[in-house]
Each structure stands twice: as C-alpha cells, then as structure tokens.
Amino acid sequence: MQKIYKTEDGYEVKVSLRKKGVSTAMLGDTHYVYTIIVEAGGLKYSSTFHDSVMNYRRDRKPDIDGAFECVLGDYQAYDCNPTLYDFANAFGYDLIDDAVELRRAFNGCRSTYERLHDMLSDYIYELNEMVVGA
C-alpha cells in the first residue's frame, strides 16, 4: 500500500508500507511488522514500523498516515531537542536512571533526522500538517 503527499509547491513524497511479518513482544502482545519506505527528491529512506496490537487482533491494515506521522514525530523530536539533555527534559527521561532507554530513543530519533533531513527538511512542517489533519 502507498500514498503520495504533494506539497503546495508540487514536491511529492511517496510513502509505502510493505508487510514483513509478525512479532510478539515480551508481554505476549502480537503485532504486524512493516517496512516503511519514504521516497522524494531522488532519495529513499526505509525503516521498520511496528503496527498496533489492536490492528493485529482485528486483522486490520495499518494507516499510512499514522505510520508516516511516527516517522515525522521522530524527526521533529530530534530537530527540536538536538542534545541528550534537551531530549531527556522534553520527554521526561532521567539522565541517570533512564540512561539506556534515553540513549536508545535519542539515537533512534537522531538517525531518522539525519536520514530524512536532505529529503524533507524544507517540507517537514507542511507534511506534518497534511498527515495529522488527514
């Protein structure tokens, strides 16, 4: 499944989801796993997307807008909080007690930001408006 987002000045961003399989978390919650692919301006980004448990239980397909919103949220989380200290404060992490989880989340958002920056930086807020308003 795929969707094309078109900005006001005609920049096109194609977002696709491809099913990879099923995963069961530590607490026994099962969900579908997808690859999300974002293509624009001759560049391509792909990452793993874990869908909701409820979609698995109801055998529903994921919402592309929701999956893309997660990717954009990770981008913006790092864009607005580019230091570990700022990130921890913004998302309620304790620098000592939550250090491992904090670094994992921070590094994941930083990776998304770095991989998408050249492709989407001029359009990130416009795209976010399209996705959230969908």
**How large is the average pLDDT for residues 72-80?**
96
pLDDT digits (tens, 9 = 90+) for 39-70: 999 999 999 998 888 888 898 888 899 999 99
Tokens found for residue 133: 């308003």
For tokens 């580019």, the residue is 82
Tokens found for residue 21: 């399989």
**How large is the average pLDDT for residues 6-13?**
96
pLDDT higher than threshold 70 for residue 134: no
pLDDT higher than threshold 70 for residue 23: yes
HSE-CB of 80 using CA atoms within 13 angstroms: 12
What's the mean per-residue pLDDT of the chain?
93
pLDDT higher than threshold 80 for residue 105: yes
Q: How far apart are CA 45 and CA 30, in angstroms?
A: 26
pTM of the model: 0.88
- Residue 47's domain comprises 2-132
Tokens found for residue 50: 């874990």
Q: Please give the C-alpha separations between residue 62 and each of 6, 19, 33, 38, 111, in angstroms, as whole numbers.
A: 21, 10, 10, 16, 23
| Contact predicate 16/27, CB 8 Å | no
Number of domains comprising the chain: 1
| Contact predicate 74/108, CB 8 Å | yes
In the prediction, which pLDDT does 96 show?
94
